[in-house]
Amino acid sequence: METLLAGNPANGVAKPTCNGVGALPVANSHAIIATPPAAATLAPAGATLGRHLARRLVQIGASDVFAVPGDFNLTLLDYLIAEPGLTLVGCCNELNAGYAADGYARSRGVGACAVTFTVGGLSVLNAIAGAYSENLPVVCIVGGPNSNDYGTNRILHHTIGLPDFSQELRCFQTITCYQAIINNLDDAHEQIDTAIATALRESKPVYISVSCNLAGLSHPTFSRDPVPMFISPRLSNKANLEYAVEAAADFLNKAVKPVMVGGPKIRVAKAREAFAAVADASGYPFAVMPAAKGLVPEHHPRFIGTYWGAVSTTFCAEIVESADAYLFAGPIFNDYSSVGYSLLLKREKAVIVQPDRMVVGDGPAFGCILMPEFLRALAKRLRRNTTAYDNYRRIFVPDREPPNGKPNEPLRVNVLFKHIKGMLSGDSAVVAETGDSWFNCQKLRLPEGCGYEFQMQYGSIGWSVGATLGYAQAAKDKRVIACIGDGSFQVQYGTSIHGTHAVSLSVPVRAHC
């Protein structure tokens, strides 16, 4: 969505490297940046690899790093601790550190964790895989072997006992979008910047391994104040955008009772406001796919609930599946979201908009268009049509509130969630664990400003405990309410959430519904 400019100390001119997602608090994104004189000659005191990496994390908004110390990353952690504006949050184990970075990225837009070589790297793998599945930019930093150990056929501790240092890298290659092995200083600056830029551009995790003996060394490419990372907007192909909007508007304006459905890739595309703009302009009722809960405004008068096939919010599936046209923004159709591929939808009735492309019915398809720009342009071209919403109002019957339990009877889950519903406000956020909490939290109607997070695609048991720590650390203005099954909570009980404004609700799966 934006273009990142990183300084090139060799010629003193910033050059575009790649596109990134996210906004940085830097002015004049199109400026040509002169290299500080000191960086072109000798690196000043303190201009080390460790400090450069720390500064980059602060610049992209990752002001907290979730870490587990180990002898391969101790020197690097010293530089992260020393960096103004950067806080090192110690975690009980690497898996929890990765989960916390995941939760942090959901609120802040980017997260970071730091672990040690192999024994730590392989432990954090599951959390990074989950962040990959959820399209979250997480910078996973690993303290690597001494740079002099490469190619020596030596066997190191914390490994599986083979003189091959690539095992950890090979594992990360399938669950990160970029991998940087920093075992020399000459290209360390370039590798760090490229890795971070790629994480922002792809909205996926990246892996950075830093040799343990290099973190404290200086190099001419590391200036005391690193050349800022500049983010400038990406733009759609104007011709493609116009054709796509015309085709979609023509398709939807011919429909008698069109509807809208929001999907989880709205987050990647940063299209929440644009989606709401279409709903306001068109008069269409809109629903949300289960994995996208919290990404559309549920306080909106035309929000009709979660579209989840046979287990949808009452009356929602009837309206969506009886429509003669539906606009899906950022959908993911997997076995979970489609209830075993049982959705009663027809492709020829759908306009499907993804972060950088869209397709109308069975075709045509248009690429190189960004979802927010497309939706904002489409909102201006749609004729107002409230037919589907009027049909919904005719059949809608409000759910009855469950009666309160008596003092001596077992607590029922529906009564528990009735009280949770009463706790929600714009200053709160809900983190829902895999399992029963998925289904019960889907029934919560979120007030304006209330956050909501869960991990539907990956569904890692215990994810929410670490994610609650990370989310609460990033969103200190929110009261985080974590709904976690008792078994899931036991899996991750080692995570500390002290110092956060979090409320953890362990929901026994045996409770009566």
Q: How far apart are CA 226 and CA 158, in angstroms?
A: 33
Where are the domain boundaries for CATH 3.40.50.1220 in the chain? 238-395
Question: 351 has which bridge partners?
Answer: 327, 360
The pLDDT value recorded for residue 244 is: 97
Which residues, 6 or more positions from 203, have their beta carbon under 8 angstroms from its beta carbon?
21, 135, 136, 137, 268
Options 3.40.50.970, 3.40.50.10150, 3.40.50.720, 3.40.309.10; CATH for 413-491 is 3.40.50.970
pLDDT score for 23: 33
Per-residue exposure over 418-427, b if at least 16 CB sit within 10 Å of its own CB, e if not? bebeeebeee
Give the integer Cα–Cα distance in Å for 217 and 189.
12
Q: Residue 283 corresponds to which tokens in the numbers above?
A: 């008069």
Listed in order, the ranges of the chain carrying CATH 3.40.50.970 are 49-222, 413-491
The pair of three-digit structure tokens given for residue 220, joined into one six-digit string = 């001419």
- Cβ-in-10-Å burial (0-12, 13-18, 19+) of 446 comes to buried
CA dihedral 275, 280, 283, 285 (to 10 degrees): 50
CATH superfamily for domain 238-395? TPP-binding domain (3.40.50.1220)
Which residues sit opposite 484 in a β-bridge?
506
pLDDT of the chain, 513 residues: tens digit per residue: 333 333 333 333 333 333 333 333 333 332 222 233 333 334 455 689 999 999 999 999 999 999 999 999 999 999 999 999 999 999 999 999 999 999 999 999 999 999 999 999 999 999 999 999 999 999 999 998 988 877 677 877 777 778 788 899 999 999 999 999 999 999 999 999 999 999 999 999 999 999 999 999 999 888 767 677 765 678 899 999 999 999 999 999 999 999 999 999 999 999 999 999 999 999 999 999 999 999 999 999 999 999 999 889 999 999 999 999 999 999 999 898 888 888 989 999 999 999 999 999 998 899 999 999 999 999 999 999 999 999 999 999 988 888 887 888 898 999 999 999 999 999 999 999 988 898 899 999 999 999 999 999 998 999 999 999 999 999 999 999 999 988 788 776 654 444 444 555 544 433 333
Q: Please say whether the beta carbons of 453 and 135 come within 8 A.
A: no
Sequence-ordered list of residues with C-beta below 8 angstroms from that of 388, at least 6 positions apart, any chain: 257, 258, 259, 284, 285, 319, 323
Fold entry, domain 49-222:
Rossmann fold (3.40.50)
**328, containing H or E segment:** strand 326-329
Distance CA 200, CA 192 (A): 13
Contacts with 138 (C-beta within 8 Å, 6 or more apart), sequence order: 98, 101, 102, 105, 110, 111, 112, 113, 128, 131, 199, 205, 206
Amino acid identity of residue 234, one-letter, is R
Token pair belonging to 492: 């991750």
pTM confidence score: 0.85
- Among candidates 105, 9, 7, 98, which has minimal Cα distance to 60? 105
Q: What is the pLDDT of residue 396?
A: 92
C-alpha 9, offset from chain centre = 32
**What pLDDT was estimated at residue 502?**
52
Instruction: With residue 389 as reference, give the H or E element that holds it.
Output: helix 387-395
Binding-site residue numbers for Mg(2+) are 486
At residue 147, the pLDDT reads 86
Binding-site residue ranges: 486
